[in-house]
């Protein structure tokens, strides 16, 4: 499997200059749209266009179960994974509401749920196994299973239309896998990486910490990105890694949700360092380690709303900001086209009869 990613392009320097010039010449004070300007610039670079448009956005939710969940690292039992998948397919979850609101095509991927689903529209069966193994006892996935899952994530994205990919997940216990990946790959103490997940109380949080410390001790040699991914799981995170790699390689705008999808980006980034430039980070979640993860990746999220739901809900909530950014870049008048004069410092000045900005 080819996991290389070449997004080098000598024309990008010129494109960046042209995009920045377009933004600076819009009828506004320099930089006055703040992070929206940075977002418009990033999307233009990803799509290689001075007038980018977001076409047929795809929201993909990868679901899988975790053997480690049996050790009480989550406030909910593993059965909630398949029950929530059924809820997605019935259209009743938060992510369904947001997808309908914003016109996002929603696809649910069974990456490794411990349940057999009846075939139906909106569901893709890419099950590797009925949940990962218990990472406390051994690797969550074999190397072969891990590579198969990464490849499956790539294939899912290759089959999707559009130029924008919003990523979500579902899997009881997957905040533990994400915390383990962060601790090992980012070199952070595990106590700085874990949070309450689905709502653990203080006793549950201490239990989770003890379990995860034991898992890290069990796998001292799982130091590379694929080694750590195999050791700590899960199938849905491995498929997310493949989805991120393929999405960036296809020059799609990849919108990252929260802590778990961020962990997938962390793995992908250690495989191919250019990955992060192709990703838009939708929000900073309320999961304790997420702010530290974003800081380590060197990125700034669009939103900070105290979310900790997952499902791709944060990516969907941030989606209108991406649409606004590209519309402003394409449709907002320039000083020249609007006949507005500028001052020496480049800021707008009121035309005759107009009001000061």
pLDDT tens-digit series, residues 255-310: 999 999 999 999 999 999 999 999 999 999 999 999 999 999 999 999 999 999 99
Using DSSP bridges, classify how beta strands 105-112 and 123-125 pair: parallel, antiparallel or unpaired.
parallel
The CATH number assigned to the domain holding 108 equals 3.40.50.10210
Q: Does residue 182 lie in a domain region?
A: yes
Looking at the predicted structure, is the pLDDT value of residue 244 above 60?
Answer: yes
Q: Does residue 23 lie in a domain region?
A: no
> What is the chain's length?
357
Instruction: Please tell me the predicted confidence (pLDDT) of residue 287.
Output: 93
Average confidence (pLDDT) over 41-63: 98
% of the chain beyond a pLDDT of 70: 93
Mean pLDDT lowest among 122-131, 182-191, 311-320, 331-340:
331-340
Q: Does residue 297 lie in a domain region?
A: yes
Task: Classify residue 354 as exposed, middle or buried by CB count within 10 Å of its CB (0-12, 13-18, 19+).
Answer: exposed
Q: Does residue 220 lie in a domain region?
A: yes
Q: Could you identify the residue written with the tokens 């006055």? A: 32
Instruction: Please tell me the predicted confidence (pLDDT) of residue 339.
Output: 87
Q: Does residue 142 lie in a domain region?
A: yes
Print the domain residue range for 75.
58-321
Task: Write down the pTM of the prediction.
Answer: 0.93
Q: Does residue 43 lie in a domain region?
A: no
Average confidence (pLDDT) over 57-71: 97
Closest to 131 in 3D by CA, of 173, 167, 168, 89? 173
Q: Which residues are annotated as catalytic?
A: 311
pLDDT band per the 50, 70, 90 thresholds, residue 355? very low
Q: Does residue 11 lie in a domain region?
A: no
pLDDT band per the 50, 70, 90 thresholds, residue 345? low
Q: Does residue 36 lie in a domain region?
A: no
pLDDT band per the 50, 70, 90 thresholds, residue 5? very low
Instruction: Please tell me the predicted confidence (pLDDT) of residue 11.
Output: 78
Query: How many domains are there within the chain?
Result: 1
Chain-wide mean pLDDT for the chain? 93
pLDDT band per the 50, 70, 90 thresholds, residue 342? confident
Instruction: Please tell me the predicted confidence (pLDDT) of residue 199.
Output: 87
pLDDT band per the 50, 70, 90 thresholds, residue 343? low
């Amino acid at each position: 499997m080819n996991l290389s990613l070449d997004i080098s392009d000598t024309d990008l320097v010129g494109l960046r200059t042209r995009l920045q010039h377009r933004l600076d010449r819009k009828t506004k004070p320099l930089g006055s749209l703040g992070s929206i300007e940075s977002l418009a610039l990033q999307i233009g670079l990803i799509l290689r266009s001075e007038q980018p448009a977001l076409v047929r956005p795809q929201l993909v939710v990868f679901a899988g179960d975790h053997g480690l969940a049996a050790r009480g690292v989550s406030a909910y039992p593993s059965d909630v994974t398949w029950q929530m998948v059924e809820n997605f397919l019935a259209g009743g979850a938060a992510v369904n509401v947001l997808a309908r609101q914003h016109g996002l095509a929603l696809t649910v991927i069974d990456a490794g749920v411990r349940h057999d689903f009846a075939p139906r529209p909106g569901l893709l069966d890419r099950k590797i196994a009925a949940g990962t193994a218990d990472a406390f006892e051994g690797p969550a996935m074999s190397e072969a299973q891990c590579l198969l899952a990464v490849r499956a994530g790539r294939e899912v994205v290759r089959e999707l239309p559009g130029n924008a990919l919003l990523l979500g997940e579902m899997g009881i216990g997957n905040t533990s896998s994400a915390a383990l990946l962060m601790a090992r790959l980012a070199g952070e103490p595990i106590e700085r990486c874990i949070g309450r997940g689905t709502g653990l109380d203080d006793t549950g949080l201490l239990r989770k910490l003890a379990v995860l410390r034991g898992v890290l001790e069990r796998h001292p040699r799982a130091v590379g990105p694929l080694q750590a991914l195999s050791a700590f799981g899960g199938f849905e995170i491995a498929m997310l890694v493949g989805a991120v790699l393929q999405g960036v390689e296809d020059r799609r705008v990849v919108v990252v949700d929260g802590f778990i999808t961020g962990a997938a980006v962390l793995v992908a980034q250690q495989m191919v360092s250019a990955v992060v430039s192709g990703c838009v980070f939708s929000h900073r979640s309320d999961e304790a380690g997420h702010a530290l993860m974003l800081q380590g990746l060197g990125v700034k999220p669009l939103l900070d709303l105290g979310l900790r739901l997952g499902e791709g809900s944060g990516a969907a909530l941030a989606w209108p900001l991406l649409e606004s950014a590209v519309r402003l870049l394409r449709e907002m008048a320039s000083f020249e086209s609007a006949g507005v004069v500028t001052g020496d410092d480049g800021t707008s000045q009121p035309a005759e009869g107009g009001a000061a900005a």
